Amino acid sequence: MKSTTQPLIELKNVVKRYPMGTTWFTALEAIDLTVEKGEFTGIVGPSGSGKTTLLNIIGSLDSPTEGSAQVLGHFIEKLSHKEAARLRNHHLGFIFQTYNLLPVYTVYENVEFPLLLLGLSNDERKKMVLDALEWVGLTDKMKSRPAQLSGGESQRVAIARAVVKKPELVLADEPTANLDAENSHHILKAMVRLNQELGTTYLFSTHDEKVIQYLRRKITLFDGKIASDDVMTPQGG
């Protein structure tokens, strides 16, 4: 299953079709894409352009109908459910638009959860959770419940949860969609810093201008195809 190719992500001629009545809807068409380690890249485009579908495939939540999607040396189309879960558990972090924190657990416990799945010891978990909360500036809120946090704080907890295990790749779907401008910049600056300090690769799905100004690479999708792939000069960081 493992290959010897170097890029973090390498998609070759990826096609994704969904059944739609008696016909098929093509969400992605002939996508060729390479993402190197340490990139801070955004996939932009209008609604229905295929951003989330592409993120799903790269995140091993879905597999391509045709073509090959290689992530961290794993061919997504060949992974079983269990192997895909293992890839996500060990190497990928996810940030959702609506935070999706577990409401009955504290900030500390939410961030700790991915580490429990990795079977780490209590001491290891404690150190990693405290580090992650320090990265996002929420050490003083570790005993709070999600309901006691603002939207910006909740998303910072979600970021801490995504990066606590120091994954190679973080996938973020519209991470600032529910945040005001100030909180959005705060969040993006935190992610830029983690990208630089930890070398984590970030891949966003977004159409938020505030996010776009922080990107170093912008891939524009239109009707399931890559319309442009531009190197950017970040303005926000």
* Site residues, another protein (CB under 8 A): 52, 55-56, 59, 61-62, 81-82, 84-90, 92, 94, 96-98, 100, 102-105, 109, 112-114, 116-117, 161, 173-174, 205
Q: Residue 103 and residue 100: Cα distance in Å, rounded?
A: 8
Nearer to another protein, 10 or 174 (CB): 174
Q: Residue 124 and residue 108: Cα distance in Å, rounded?
A: 14
Find the shortest distance in angstroms from Cβ 118 to another protein.
9
CA 83 to chain centre: 18
Find the shortest distance in angstroms from Cβ 29 to another protein.
18
Nearer to another protein, 184 or 216 (CB): 184
Q: How far apart, in Å, are the Cα atoms of 67 and each of 10, 11, 76, 173?
A: 11, 8, 10, 23
Q: How far apart, in Å, are the Cα atoms of 2 and each of 74, 85, 164, 165?
A: 5, 16, 25, 22
Token pair in block for residue 235: 């303005």
Nearer to another protein, 80 or 235 (CB): 80
Find the shortest distance in angstroms from Cβ 147 to another protein.
12
Find the shortest distance in angstroms from Cβ 125 to another protein.
11
Nearer to another protein, 116 or 227 (CB): 116
> Reduced to 3 states, what is the DSSP secondary structure of residue 171?
strand
